[in-house]
Chains A and B, each alone.
Chain A
Amino acid sequence: MRTVLAALALVGVFGGVLGGVFGGVMPSLAQAKPLKLEKEELKFGFIKLTDMAPLAIAYEKGYFEDEGLYVTLEPQANWKVLLDRTIDGELDGAHMLAGQPLGATIGIGTKAKIITAFSMDLNGNAITVSNDVWKRMKKYVPKDASGKPIHPIKADALKPVVDAYKAEGKPFNMGMVFPVSTHNYELRYWLAAGGIRPGYYAPSDISGQIMADAYLSVTPPPQMPATMEAGTISGYCVGEPWNQQAVFKGIGVPVVTDYGIWKNNPEKVFGVSAAWAKKYPNTHLAVIKALIRAAIWLDANHNANRSEAVKILARPEYVGADAKVIANSMTGTFEYEKGDKRSVPDFNVFFRYFATYPYYSDAIWYLTQMRRWGQIPEAKPDSWYAKIAKEVYRPDIYLKAAKMLVDEGKASKKDFPWMSDGYRPPQSHFIDNIVYDAHKPNAYLEKFKIGLKGNERIEGGKIVGKP
């Protein structure tokens, strides 16, 4: 902590106070002493999802240009391509799943050191099932007095349907977007909380379908609705706009948002390779500054700017879906069944609740889930979890950038957790009411009925070893 403060003091010397111009459409030329940039032309990758918004806003509002950066934003085919291109230097950085930098660092899939100094958003996903599955599970869903389903819906209602599939000898298939994606862990968490086993990973079998009741497989987000329509999968967990798209097209029903599974869960991060960050430290800071300003703009005055953001995101070069589909979740409503619109003001959070600060505890939660489902095959001590989190998540860089913005008058001091040790207080808002304390990851794993714990590992398609 002390080193961080010292660094801040140093940075403070550079950040001469100069009233920046707030959120004008034209980028301001008023600048504090600019950073000496090592690289001005950058290319960032993204996947067509509404939570890429900070990148689009930083570009369109001229925040990148204010920092002297010339950024090209490029949509990528899928998460794997995006990660590989970031690793081999074709992209300078990218909109990533929170699990990607962690997974890459510990060697799930392509092994490479990726770091993040900026968390892009909270929440933003949902689980959608096909019309047919919804019809079959609806009778098990608790209703309120007016006959509407009570949210959040638990997977207990889905269990009879999955059991029926099993009895008929049919596999129950679901889609998620990537093996280390937030969606994979959320979907698994939700299923397991309802007593449905989502399947384990093992070093010899990375399908993630060992001992599974529901078979999960990878589908790129934009193709989810089409794949479900084709009957290849009966449900999926994905970010927006692909859940609302299913409602609009009448091919499926979202049953639960990730806000209901884990309130204010971290979703995407802005990832760069560790080598890149080392080579271009000032450029990295400038990028984080621009992104923080974009996040501030997105949440300013209780989401006042969201409708403008929706218009920008609807352009074909960004998300490209119809504005009315994107608008649903971005402006704080979410439609479950057709006509069942509910208010979910925090469905997309970009800046409130310190959303952009890269908390170690967020990283550790993803690591616990990787261990829970066998992607981390062997038991690890609590200290290992903390070490990896510190290696990948870099709040020190984030706070440096935030300090500059405060000094330039472009952000207010109270919006940043200056004194945080990187751990959120124990969190209790999970769908199964299990409390998560990031300081004790192994104890946390013990609390789950379904999932690996202690020294358990998967061998020959079975769980072996002592819990």
Chain B
Amino acid sequence: MSTLVATISRIAPFPALLGEISREQAAKWFWRSVAVPVIAFAIFLGLWQETSKQIVTSLGTIPGPVEVVKEAHILWADHLHQRAKEAAFDVRQEKRNAAKLAENPNAVIKWHAYTGKPTYIDQIFTSIKTVFAGFLLGTIIAIPLGIVCGLSPLVNAALNPLIQIFKPVSPLAWLPLVTIMVSALYVSSDPMFEKSFLTSAITVTLCSLWPTLINTSLGVASIDKDLMNVSRVLQLNWRTKVFKMILPSSLELIFTGLRLSLGVGWMVLIAAEMLAQNPGLGKFVWDEFQNGSSHSLARIMVAVFTIGIIGFGLDRIMLSLQNFFTFSEKR
């Protein structure tokens, strides 16, 4: 039990869990960390509900929280409805295949995935998958490169201008280039990934690897000189040096970089999906904007909250990992 608590407290510090504070402090902690945010959020909802009625757009009034919750329910119902349609589709397909086999026992039967539209829930998972793919690819590139940059001032001087130039480039500028490159280079009759998935993921990679790269090289460069000297004296081979010494001592900064990267990646992905019309939440938002129906605004707001909550969730995941892997007391 105590180990569990210790683990939890390392991931998410709830002082109350540790039983190391007075009742008064606990009350104060509760007020600060729970009550105040909840009250503030309630005030925000109230203000939103009131002001939304005042603003009349060409798509009707701006939806308030009530409409948005309703719309979220509709999206969920739609998801269930699509799943039912999918089941019917599969039944029809089975019938058709059976008829085919009855006619010709040697007929080649291929099972086809459902052709209907992806639901809102599907789009959420598509986006999450894509962002992690792009983020992992970026990490695989950025961390080794960052270590090399941090260890060698020469490499750092060589790469620095490139990093500074590419870092501020918007995903929307990368996107056309990436799209055309992927179309040209990724040609196969039976592709493992959809082209659209690749373009989105690579765009995320290009935009999100910089924070990790910079922070890694900074972390590695600022390792205690004594440690480096010790490694020289002991004549450690490079693998031991990297894994036993460099990585552990620069982990804190690497994680800071990863957190920033994932945040940037998530933001970039939505923009990329919007522009390229690749499946995901960005496409959902754009399609709804194009629909221009009386439901559109509320749906887009559902998406905004979804994007925000997922972004927050991703950040928390990274923070927990960071707390788990590093030993620093700084938060």
Contacts and interface: CB of A to CB of B under 8 A. Distances in A.
B50 interface: no
Given A70-B115, A71-B115, A81-B277, A225 B58 contact: yes
Counting contact residues on chain B (CB < 8 A from A), the size range is 20 to 34
Contact of B287 (A31, A68, A251, A320): A320
B129 interface: no
B92 interface: yes
Contact of B291 (A40, A76, A222): A222
Overall SS of chain B's interface: helix
B277 to A, nearest CB: 5
B92 A48 contact: no
Contact of B195 (A41, A90, A222, A229): A90
A77 B291 contact: no
Contacts of B183: 88, 90
Given A29-B95, A41-B112, A249-B58, A48 B290 contact: yes
A132 to B, nearest CB: 16
B277 A321 contact: no
A229 B112 CA distance: 45
Given A65-B92, A226-B58, A229-B58, A70 B112 contact: yes
B79 to A, nearest CB: 12
Q: Which of B92, B95, B115, B195 has the most CB atoms of chain A within a 10 A radius of its CB?
A: B115
A317 interface: yes
Contacts of B295: 316
Interface string B95-139: 110010000000000101001110000000000000000000000
Contacts of A322: 293-294
A27 B296 CA distance: 32
Interface of B: 58-59, 92, 95-96, 99, 110, 112, 115-117, 183, 195-196, 275, 277, 286-296, 299
A371 to B, nearest CB: 32
Q: Which of B92, B99, B292, B296 has the most CB atoms of chain A within a 10 A radius of its CB?
A: B292
Nearest to B284: A316
Q: Which of B58, B183, B290, B299 has the most CB atoms of chain A within a 10 A radius of its CB?
A: B290
Contacts of A222: 289-292
Nearest to A222: B290
15 contacts: A26-B92, A29-B96, A29-B99, A41-B112, A48-B287, A59-B115, A70-B115, A71-B115, A222-B289, A222-B291, A225-B292, A229-B58, A314-B293, A317-B116, A321-B292
B290 A27 contact: no
Nearest to A43: B115
A357 B277 CA distance: 32
Interface of A: 26-27, 29, 31, 40-41, 48, 59, 62, 65, 68, 70-73, 75-77, 81, 88, 90, 220, 222-223, 225-226, 229, 245, 249, 251, 314, 316-317, 319-322
B74 to A, nearest CB: 10
B117 A317 contact: yes
Contacts of B110: 40
Nearest to A48: B290
A149 to B, nearest CB: 24
A92 to B, nearest CB: 12
Contacts of B286: 77
Contacts of A314: 293
A48 B112 contact: no
Nearest to B291: A320
A321 B293 contact: yes
A316 B120 CA distance: 11
B96 to A, nearest CB: 7
Q: Which of B195, B196, B277, B288 has the most CB atoms of chain A within a 10 A radius of its CB?
A: B277
A70 B195 CA distance: 20
Given A29-B96, A40-B112, A81-B277, A75 B290 contact: yes
Contacts of A317: 116-117
Contacts of A321: 291-293
A244 to B, nearest CB: 11
B2 to A, nearest CB: 52
